[in-house]
A and B are shown apart, each in its own frame.
Chain A
Amino acid sequence: MRRSAREVALDLVSPQRAVFLLLVVLLVAIVVVNPSFAEPGQLMRFLQRVAPVAIVAMGQFFVIVSGEFDLSMGSLVTAQVVGAGVLVGQDGSRTVPVLALMLAFGTLVGLVNGLATTFLRVPSFIVTLGMMLALLGAVMFWTGGAATGNPADEFRQIGRGGWREVPVLDFVPYAVVILVVLLVLALWYTHRPAGKLHVAVGDNVATAHHAGVRVWWVKTRAFVISSLSATVAGVLLVGYAGVHPSVGRGYEFTAITAVVLGGVVLGGGRGWIVGALAGAVVLEALFVLLNYAGVPSTVRSSVQGVIIIAAVAYSALDFRRRRSGPATTSPAGGDAAPAPGRGGDTSTTSPAHSGA
């Protein structure tokens, strides 16, 4: 289907695609302030830095699209980072077993979050808040507040290393490769029936339930994905930054902000995962731009706050069907009558069919 240039332009400026426009603007601004950013090596290092944030944003995407919150991500990242430091120590050969253990632990946390939300029927906000406090307390208690130190280099290479002397790209970090792989996996998943159920469940739980969907399993899956993404991010961060109890702090808010910037509505039922990814890149690009432009540290919070509100407000606008009358918003439901998405959105909304 050929689209006129006007349609393409309108699409780009549409609220659902606002994040991509913002990303382009930020990247251009960065290059203007510091042209060396456009060098492949720099760009790749930037992507290496973005990778952990982008991965947790993708994990949080599934949770939010399913209509829930995961506030425990930050603590889980910290727990995994500190745990890796303690368990691997200086013994590089322990890398693989510890990785397996970390993934298992991440799955466990996700299961607990999901089952508490669906079977105990406690709001996910509360479950993950409790998990956040308990997990961080447990990790600090176990390690006496500080990890033994940075683990062996073999483990850290995952987050820190890459292929050097690559033609054209100069340096391809493993972190970026992992990110790309996970993105492809996530996109594939969202096109499968199992993946589309997340949106269905987030959109209308009652309908999904009546259609025979095992809602509890869909939501629990989302939490497991989220916790696993936090685990992977933790592995990458151990490499990138080393072990310290403050690594990961605030990650859940960063992830939620990235997802919402990407056009996903809090309350679920709509969204494109690439939007969430773009949201994460936007946040990191903003940080880089503020660094390059030499904006004083103290003002940065305000800049971030304004951009977040502006970007989300913009994406809440509906160009096609302007609703007249006052808006209605709630944590559990998006706009009063969600408009059918254009373009990419339709690939994520489809009638739920039975069988997860």
Chain B
Amino acid sequence: MNRLRSLDPTVVVYLALVAALAIGALLVSTVGRNFFSAGNVRDILTGMSVLGLVAIGQTLVVLCSSLDLSVPVVISLSSLLAATTMAGDPARIVPAVLLTLAVAAAIGMFNGLVVTKLRVNGFIATLGTGLIVKGYLDTQYKGTAGTVPWEFQLLGATGLGPVPVSTILMLALATLVWFVLARTRVGHQMFAVGGDPVVARLSGLHVARPVIVAHVVCSLTAAGAGLLLASRLGVGSPTVGSQGGYDLLSIAAVVLGGTLLLGGRGSVWGTIGGVAIFAVLDNVMSVMQVNPFLKDIVRGVVIVAAVAVYTRRTLHAHRPRFGVGGPTDDGPVLGPADGAPATGQLPPAEEVAR
């Protein structure tokens, strides 16, 4: 177990995923199915795409030590805006997508400002925003609306063999976000602000900026998920966001992927691994026709058990004061969990007081 803890958390998530795949393949074969058949793989990857998009954005928010509970309504609103603007006309795809992204960015900006300027906790701020947007949805839309043209439906329907286009796009987005976190200033600032906001501010960072960026990106990825869902459903729906429980499940996937809930340490790839584990779990239980109520029990237990087993709990692994790993030892340098080099690294909090 200690060896496990000394590994990079992201690696541990993928080890858990491999274990889940192995167990899943075994269980599925007992009911006479092939886990790795094209149809099954497509089912798993499809199940990953929407939650994966949301979870990527949620990773950034959690890294900044905040939360975003407004994602379900942003998803629903995005699907409705897109479908009603497109209204079946392929020429209107681009304006619809731009409008949707713009509205989502505005909501994200609002979230970010409430959290940073009004100093409301992310949980409450996004809970409130979610309620406000929900009221708008309830009043404006009485049911599914709009029509998505065939060209846009291709987004949710085509694939490279068993790999859906939506999964490929999700992975591309994850790469982009990984890059932002690992190599750009804003990304490093997110780690800093999440890790210790006081230190960050004393170090001269504008603490508000990364938080706002994180919230905006989170709402944008939620909008992406809404667009994907609109493509799959062929219409916009005011309930599609809440049907999937994307708020709590995305946070669970983020934590499962090794990101600390308190922020400051984490990895997008870990989150993708967490989403994959959920998708595999759901797939195996569906193929085995597990009673839906039992499915919820299993999900709940797995979430807690997985996080208990392999996540690292502390932000700063305390450097021993003497001997191996002490100040005179040229040990490994602490930094963001995905192994970015130590540029811009901030000293652990307990040393700042000196």
Task: Report if B321 contacts A (CB, 8 A).
Answer: no
Task: Report if A4 contacts B (CB, 8 A).
Answer: no
Chain B residues within an 8 Å CB radius of A125: 251, 255, 261
Task: Report if A210 contacts B (CB, 8 A).
Answer: no
Looking at the assembled complex, report how far the CB atom of B319 sits from the nearest CB atom of chain A, in whole angstroms: 17
Q: For chain A, which range describes its interface: under 10, 10 to 19, 20 to 34, or 35 or more residues?
A: 35 or more
A123 lies within 8 A of B307 (CB): yes
Give B128's nearest chain A residue, CB to CB.
A309
Task: Report if B291 contacts A (CB, 8 A).
Answer: yes
Chain A residues within an 8 Å CB radius of B121: 260, 265-267, 312, 329, 331
A328 lies within 8 A of B201 (CB): yes
A122–B306 Cα gap in the complex (Å)?
9
Binds A, one of B50-58, B175-183, B296-304, B322-330: B296-304
Looking at the assembled complex, report how far the CB atom of A125 sits from the nearest CB atom of chain B, in whole angstroms: 6
A328–B196 Cα gap in the complex (Å)?
9
Residues 28-76 (chain B) with a chain A CB within 8 angstroms: 65-67
Give B309's nearest chain A residue, CB to CB.
A120
A331 lies within 8 A of B124 (CB): no
A298–B135 Cα gap in the complex (Å)?
6
Task: Report if B265 contacts A (CB, 8 A).
Answer: no
Chain A residues within an 8 Å CB radius of B193: 328
Looking at the assembled complex, report how far the CB atom of A325 sits from the nearest CB atom of chain B, in whole angstroms: 7
Give A335's nearest chain B residue, CB to CB.
B119
Task: Report if A164 contacts B (CB, 8 A).
Answer: no
Q: Per-residue 0/1 for A272-307: is the Cβ within 8 Å of any B Cβ (1 yes, 0 no)? A: 000000000000000000000000111111111110
Looking at the assembled complex, report how far the CB atom of A143 sits from the nearest CB atom of chain B, in whole angstroms: 9
Our pick among A296, A298, A331 for the contact of B67 (Cβ within 8 Å) is A331
Task: Report if A167 contacts B (CB, 8 A).
Answer: no
A336 lies within 8 A of B122 (CB): no
B201 lies within 8 A of A257 (CB): no
Binds B, one of A100-108, A127-135, A218-226: A127-135
B296 lies within 8 A of A336 (CB): no
Task: Report if B136 contacts A (CB, 8 A).
Answer: yes
Give B194's nearest chain A residue, CB to CB.
A330
Task: Report if B263 contacts A (CB, 8 A).
Answer: yes
Chain A residues within an 8 Å CB radius of B295: 137
Q: For chain B, which range describes its interface: under 10, 10 to 19, 20 to 34, or 35 or more residues?
A: 35 or more
Looking at the assembled complex, report how far the CB atom of B264 sits from the nearest CB atom of chain A, in whole angstroms: 9
Task: Report if A326 contacts B (CB, 8 A).
Answer: yes
Our pick among A120, A301, A313, A329 for the contact of B66 (Cβ within 8 Å) is A329
Looking at B118, B297, B302, B304, which has the most chain A CB atoms within 10 Å of its CB?
Answer: B304
Binds A, one of B109-117, B165-173, B221-229: B109-117
Task: Report if A138 contacts B (CB, 8 A).
Answer: yes
Main secondary structure of the interface of B (DSSP, over half): helix
A133 lies within 8 A of B300 (CB): yes
Give B209's nearest chain A residue, CB to CB.
A326
Chain B residues within an 8 Å CB radius of A303: 135
Task: Report if B87 contacts A (CB, 8 A).
Answer: no
Residues 74-103 (chain A) with a chain B CB within 8 angstroms: none
A328 lies within 8 A of B197 (CB): yes
A134–B291 Cα gap in the complex (Å)?
13
Task: Report if A176 contacts B (CB, 8 A).
Answer: no
Task: Report if B237 contacts A (CB, 8 A).
Answer: no
Our pick among B118, B133, B198, B261 for the contact of A126 (Cβ within 8 Å) is B261
Chain A residues within an 8 Å CB radius of B301: 130, 134
A333–B255 Cα gap in the complex (Å)?
18
Looking at the assembled complex, report how far the CB atom of A180 sits from the nearest CB atom of chain B, in whole angstroms: 28
Chain B residues within an 8 Å CB radius of A126: 252, 255, 261, 303-304, 307
A17–B311 Cα gap in the complex (Å)?
40
| With contact pairs A253-B127, A313-B118 given, residues A133 and B299 touching in the complex (Cβ less than 8 Å) | yes
Chain A residues within an 8 Å CB radius of B136: 302
Q: Per-residue 0/1 for A331-351: is the Cβ within 8 Å of any B Cβ (1 yes, 0 no)? A: 111011000000000000000
Looking at the assembled complex, report how far the CB atom of B138 sits from the nearest CB atom of chain A, in whole angstroms: 4
Looking at the assembled complex, report how far the CB atom of B207 sits from the nearest CB atom of chain A, in whole angstroms: 5
Chain A residues within an 8 Å CB radius of B248: 71, 129
Task: Report if B206 contacts A (CB, 8 A).
Answer: yes
Looking at the assembled complex, report how far the CB atom of A291 sits from the nearest CB atom of chain B, in whole angstroms: 16
A306–B124 Cα gap in the complex (Å)?
11
Looking at the assembled complex, report how far the CB atom of B228 sits from the nearest CB atom of chain A, in whole angstroms: 25
Our pick among B65, B116, B123 for the contact of A326 (Cβ within 8 Å) is B116
Looking at the assembled complex, report how far the CB atom of B93 sits from the nearest CB atom of chain A, in whole angstroms: 30
A309 lies within 8 A of B120 (CB): yes
Q: Per-residue 0/1 for A308-325: is the Cβ within 8 Å of any B Cβ (1 yes, 0 no)? A: 110011001100000001
Chain B residues within an 8 Å CB radius of A166: none
A306 lies within 8 A of B114 (CB): no
B131 lies within 8 A of A122 (CB): no
Task: Report if A141 contacts B (CB, 8 A).
Answer: yes
Give B136's nearest chain A residue, CB to CB.
A302
Chain B residues within an 8 Å CB radius of A127: 304
Looking at the assembled complex, report how far the CB atom of A31 sits from the nearest CB atom of chain B, in whole angstroms: 26
Task: Report if A5 contacts B (CB, 8 A).
Answer: no
| With contact pairs A126-B303, A302-B134 given, residues A332 and B120 touching in the complex (Cβ less than 8 Å) | no
A133 lies within 8 A of B262 (CB): no
A336 lies within 8 A of B201 (CB): yes
B263 lies within 8 A of A336 (CB): no
Chain B residues within an 8 Å CB radius of A266: 121, 123-124
A71–B201 Cα gap in the complex (Å)?
32
Task: Report if A256 contacts B (CB, 8 A).
Answer: yes
Can you sample 9 A-B contacts with CB below 8 Å?
A: A130-B300, A133-B297, A137-B296, A141-B294, A302-B133, A305-B132, A309-B118, A327-B208, A328-B200
The 7 closest A-B pairs by CB, nearest first: A302-B135, A305-B131, A137-B296, A134-B300, A133-B300, A328-B197, A130-B304
Beyond the given pairs A329-B116, A331-B261, 13 more chain A to chain B contacts, judged by CB atoms under 8 angstroms and listed by A's residue number, are A116-B308, A123-B255, A125-B251, A129-B251, A130-B303, A131-B300, A134-B301, A137-B298, A308-B124, A312-B125, A327-B117, A329-B120, A331-B123
Residues of B within 8 A of A (CB): 65-67, 114-125, 127-136, 138-139, 193-194, 197-198, 200-201, 206-208, 248, 251-252, 255, 261-263, 291, 293-304, 307-308, 311, 313
